[in-house]
Amino acid sequence: MEMVNVIIDGKAVEVEKGSTVLQAAQKAGVHIPTLCYLKDVNAIGACRVCLVEVKGAKALQPSCVYPVSEGLEVHTNTAKVREARKAVVELLLSNHPADCLTCVRSGNCELQSLARQLGIREIRFEGEKNTFPIDDRSLAIVRDPNKCILCRRCIATCQKVQGVSILGTINRGFNSTVGPAFMHPLDDINCALCGQCINACPVGALSEKDDTAKVWDALADENKHCVVQFSPAVRIAISEEFGIPMGAISTGKTVAALRRLGFDKVFDTNWSADLTIMEEGTELLHRIQNGGVLPQITSCSPGWIKYCEHHYPDQLDHLSSAKSPQQMFGAIVKTYYAQKAGVDPATIFSCSVMPCTAKKYECARPEMNSSGYRDVDCVITVREVARMIRQTGINLAELPEEECDSPLGVGTGAGTIFGATGGVMEAALRTVYEVVTGKTLEKVDFEEVRGMEGIKEATVDLDGTPVKVAVVHTLANAKKMMDKVRAGEADYAFIEIMACPGGCVGGGGTPIVNSLTRTILPTDYRAIRGLGLYEDDKNLPLRKSHENPFIKAVYAEFLGEPLSHKSHELLHTTYTPRIKYNLNWNK
Amino acid sequence: MACTCNAHNQEKYQQLDAVIAEYIDQPGSLINVLHKAQGIFGYLPEEVQAYIAEKMDIPLSEIYGVVTFYALFTTEPKGKYNFNVCLGTACYVKGSGKILERVEKELGIKLNETSADGLFSIEACRCVGACGLAPVMTVNGEVYGRLTPDKVPAIIQKYKDLEANN
């Protein structure tokens, strides 16, 4: 790699040719403020916050797109630079609602931080403000274009990371805004509701639909029996909300916090992740043995499912009919658990804490009522549950470790790794191997399906029968894989697809990691969270779903066996072909 | 108004297919396709944009972004008789603002609107290259110069008569 020498604020630094001034500055230990920049996603020089003085250049230059050259001399902290940055942010603020006190992003808003960092004490420019309608119709995502600063980070994420391209810039000049084509509500279009746009947004223009009030109401209702489940990724992601280092596991503290919020029973989605493996693994074996449609593709990720329904409606028979762990859990709570605990299912309020915005949509799908009731009543994201915990004055970090309630409170290591890309595959392989071969799997770690590579492949030897599998994360990679599936070129038996980068640990409902943190972290934050789950798996006494005693119990006492009539009724589902665009010419 | 006749519509889409086929291999040719599509359909409704998105494998959000960025593209159907009032510098100082006001008043619609019967629409432009005749207005490309507000009703009547005789 060819290197060039540059001088940043008097400090000599050697960087790779093709780097930007911003990257060179980072290497020199100089942090240039940014706003529209998002590492690996968006570098377009649009916001002009990262302006620097380049020796020899006439005007100030945006460092996020200015390429380095040999001997380049840059000053990042001159009076001229500071004034220019300040003016840029003041102009942004002149057309921004000054409602920080009540904004969902107060405290972790990048515009707010910049205003503080640049010492802005008044907004000198007063003028017209945009008034766009707020789109809060979907169950998952709220879009408030009045707070949008046109950084285009959401557009780049939707287009480059997810390949769905729902969001784009609309109009020009002062009327510019960001939204879906024809300003359609997200509800009406082919949006997967994955929420990755929220994670990319520096301000409060995109946020999750806040359902905390519903949960508080249920908790306050004496006639309700409130049950909560929390997903594998939650135990990792929640740590960051309470100052616990990224990637550290907080299972026991999460249980303690949920109990203190007032839930009657605190259960673990890891349990139903194990149940999913039993059903989905058995389904896979059936398909292989009976000449069923292959490859079978996982169905845990509701964003992926919605994407597939809109974009590959002709390929739905590849999807496992197994419900996601959240929905299996919901169906079991209002049947098996209700019977066992002697609780009227009509009085159960079934809440789930998820790293995901699309789960809010999933629980409301009309078919998700196989218990005779709405299987899951309310989904809140990690950010929302953290908000609720803060409202009580509890500091999760200081809580003791507590255990989940029985009987839906024990999960295996196989369940816990569901939260990372490759985890469902690994969990399935651990069980399928032992079921097929009748032998004990000595090495439970399937390293080849772990990690942040977009599409991973592995061939597993099931006692002489090689089984080819693939693991995919992000919808852009899902598109690549599905094009192969559609063309009949995907010779895999089983494919795991997760909508979000890194799997659920990178979900649209996880704590928002700001641009600066993403830039200075040594590795992708989703990889750090994922490693925490693998660590948790390593330390759990049981690491194979079929060894979970409470899974054995639910089959012995209630379901019979995987794919039994009752399992089919409660734990399996159907999919709906949907349209990509409203194409009248098609009719 | 857009023709609702299926056969006619099919013919338009066939023309559009030919345009797309001409440009599909040229990167950066979206604007050309949109321009010609507007020529075929008279405007760029959602289904036409979605059709182009599908056929050219360009996100609909990107196409809509281009359509809303350029003033020459419209997502609303134009009237059968499109009044285009020049608001360029020369016409403007010669009082074309008053001409526009009078056209709006006489037709009972505002700038960038189309009458309910689909006959009339009003647009504004930034110079038709006939500054010597300022203030200028065109109707379906026919130029009317040296206008005063009081000349407007007769021009409108001309098109109403034309329509009545058709």
* Domain shared by B62 and B90, yes or no: no
- φ, ψ dihedrals at A498, nearest 5°: -120, 140
Residue finishing a domain among B17, B47, B69: B69
CB contact under 8 A, A181 and B9: no
Residue B89 lies in a domain: yes
Instruction: Give all domains of chain A, ordered by start, each with its CATH number.
Output: 3-92 (3.10.20.740), 130-208 (3.30.70.20), 212-571 (3.40.50.1780)
Chain A nearest-CA distance from B52, in A, is: 10
Per-residue pLDDT of chain A (587 residues; tens, 9 = 90+): 899 999 999 999 999 999 999 999 999 999 999 999 999 999 999 999 999 999 999 999 999 999 999 999 999 999 999 999 999 999 999 999 989 999 999 999 999 999 999 999 998 998 899 999 999 999 999 999 999 999 999 999 999 999 999 999 999 999 999 999 999 999 999 999 999 999 999 999 999 999 999 999 999 999 999 999 999 999 999 999 999 999 999 999 999 999 999 999 999 999 999 999 999 999 999 999 999 999 999 999 999 999 999 999 999 999 999 999 999 999 999 999 999 999 999 999 999 999 999 999 999 999 999 999 999 999 999 999 999 999 999 999 999 999 999 999 999 999 999 999 999 999 999 999 999 999 999 999 999 999 999 999 999 998 888 999 999 999 999 999 999 999 999 999 999 999 999 999 999 999 999 999 999 999 999 999 999 999 999 999 999 999 999 999 999 999 999 999 999 999 999 999 999 997 664 44
Contact list, B34 vs chain A (CB under 8 Å): none
Domain edge (last residue) among B69, B102, B121:
B69
- Is residue A309 within 8 A of residue A191, CB to CB? The reply is no
Q: b/e per residue, A275-291, with b = 16+ CB within 10 A?
A: bbbbbbbbbbbebbeee
Do B106 and B157 have their domain in common? yes
Q: Where in the sequence is the domain holding B55, given as residue range(s)?
A: 6-69
- Give the residue carrying structure tokens 């570098």: A43
Closest CA to B67 of B39, B40, B46, B88: B46
**Chain A residues near residue B53 by CB distance under 8 angstroms:** 581
Is B76 domain-assigned?
A: no
Residues on chain B touching A168 (C-beta within 8 angstroms): 59, 61-62, 64-65
Q: Does B15 map to a domain?
A: yes
Note whether B99 and B53 are same-domain residues. Answer: no
Do B41 and B89 share a structural domain?
Answer: no
Check if B51 contacts A (Cβ < 8 Å): yes
Out of B9, B46, B68, the one facing A170 most closely (by C-beta) is: B68
Instruction: Show which residues on chain A lie within 8 Å of chain B, measured between beta carbons.
Output: 155, 159, 165-172, 180-182, 580-585
Report the residue from A167, A582, A585 with minimal CB separation from B61: A167
Q: Are strands A61-62 and A51-54 parallel, antiparallel or unpaired?
A: antiparallel
Domain assignment present for B122: yes
The answer to whether position B131 is within a domain reads yes
* Cα distance between residue A22 and residue A31, in whole Å: 8
User: Same domain, yes or no, for B93 and B141?
Assistant: yes
CA distances from B115 to A52, B104, B138 (A): 53, 11, 17
| Long-range contacts, A434-443 (Cβ 8 Å, 24+) | A434/A544, A434/A546, A435/A281, A435/A282, A435/A285, A435/A546, A436/A285, A436/A462, A436/A463, A436/A465, A437/A462, A437/A463, A439/A463, A441/A544
Residues B122 and B64 in one domain: no
pLDDT tens sequence across B75-109: 988 899 999 999 999 999 999 999 999 999 999 99
Same domain, B154 and B87: yes
Contact call for A169 and B65, based on CB within 8 A: yes
Could you tell me which chain B residue has the CA closest to the CA of A179? B61
Please state, in angstroms and rounded to a whole number, the distance separating the CA atoms of residues B85 and B97: 9
CATH no. for residue B141? 3.40.30.10
Closest CA of chain A from B162, distance in Å: 33
- Asked if B68's CB is within 8 angstroms of A581's CB, the reply is no
Pick the residue from chain B with its C-alpha nearest to A165: B59
Contact by Cβ (8 Å): A205, A149? yes
Catalytic residues of A: 280, 283, 300, 320, 359, 362, 367, 504
State whether B87 and B157 are in the same domain.
yes
Tokens representing residue A351 in the block = 């809440």
Q: Residue A581: list chain B partners with CB under 8 A.
A: 50, 53-54, 60
B6 interfacial to chain A (CB closer than 8 Å):
no
Residues B126 and B94 both lie in one domain: yes
Q: Please indicate, yes or no, if residue B74 is contained in any of the structural domains.
A: no
Q: How far apart are CA A433 and CA B82, in angstroms?
A: 72
Alpha carbons A568 and A573: distance in angstroms, whole number: 8
Residue B3 in contact with partner chain A when CB distance is under 8 A: no
Weakly modelled stretches of chain B, pLDDT under 50: 1-3
How far is Cα A513 from Cα B55, in angstroms, rounded to an integer?
A: 37
Q: Are the CB atoms for A510 and A358 separated by under 8 Å?
A: no
A559, two tokens: 């379901």
B23 and B65 assigned to the same domain: yes
Please say which residue of B69, B90, B108 terminates a domain: B69
On whether the CB atoms of residues A546 and A431 are closer than 8 A, the answer is yes
For A582, the closest of B13, B50, B68 (CB atoms) is: B50
From B50, B64, B75, residue closest to A583, measured CB to CB: B50
Instruction: Indicate if B97 and B145 belong to the same structural domain.
Output: yes
Contact status, residue A321 vs residue A572, Cβ threshold 8 Å: yes
Whether the CB of B17 is below 8 Å from some CB of chain A: the reply is no
Residues B48, B112 within the same domain: no
- Picking from B13, B54, B65, the nearest residue to A170 by CB comes out as B65
Interface probe, candidates B51, B68, B76, chain A, greatest A C-beta count within 10 A: B68
A181 contacts in chain B (CB < 8 Å): 46, 49, 60-61, 63-64
Q: Is residue B50 part of a domain?
A: yes
User: Ramachandran region of residue A474, left (φ > 0), alpha (ψ -120 to 50) or beta?
Assistant: left
Cα-Cα-Cα-Cα dihedral sign, residues A43, A47, A53, A58: positive
A167 CA to chain B: closest CA distance, Å? 6
Instruction: Determine contact: B66 vs chain A, CB below 8 A.
Output: no
Here the tokens at position A132 are 């766009």
Cβ atoms A305, A319 nearer than 8 A:
yes
Structure token digits, residue B166: 């058709």
Alpha-helical regions (H) of A231-313: 234-241, 251-261, 269-289, 302-311
- Residues A38, A153 contacting (CB under 8 angstroms): yes
Work out the angle between the directed axes of helices B6-23 and B46-56 (0-180°, nearest 10): 40
Domains: count for chain B: 2
Structural contact between residues A280 and A557, judged by C-beta atoms closer than 8 angstroms: no
What ipTM, to 2 d.p.?
0.93
Which chain B residues are within 8 Å of A580, Cβ to Cβ?
54
Instruction: Note the residue count of chain B.
Output: 166
Helix (H) or strand (E) holding B84: strand B81-86
CB spacing of B46 vs A181 below 8 angstroms: yes
Which residue is closest to A177 within chain B, CA to CA? Answer: B65
Answer whether A181 sits within 8 Å of B63, measured CB to CB.
Answer: yes
Two tokens, residue B42: 């008279």
Question: Residue A380: CB partners within 8 Å, gap ≥ 6?
Answer: A211, A212, A215, A351, A352, A353, A354, A388
Is there a contact between A171 and B61 if contact means CB atoms under 8 Å apart? no
- In this complex, the residue of B9, B13, B61 whose CB is nearest that of residue A181 is B61
B15 part of contact set with chain A, CB < 8 Å: no
**Contacts for B71 with CB less than 8 Å, ≥ 6 apart:** none
Is B145 within a domain?
yes
Cβ <8 Å between B51 and A171: no
Tell me the shortest Cα–Cα distance from B54 to chain A, in angstroms.
9
A584–B61 C-beta distance less than 8 A: no
Decide if B59 touches A, using CB distance below 8 A: yes
Which residue is closest to B53 within chain A, CA to CA?
Answer: A581
CB contact under 8 A, B61 and A172: no
Distance from CA of A311 to the nearest CA of B (A): 12
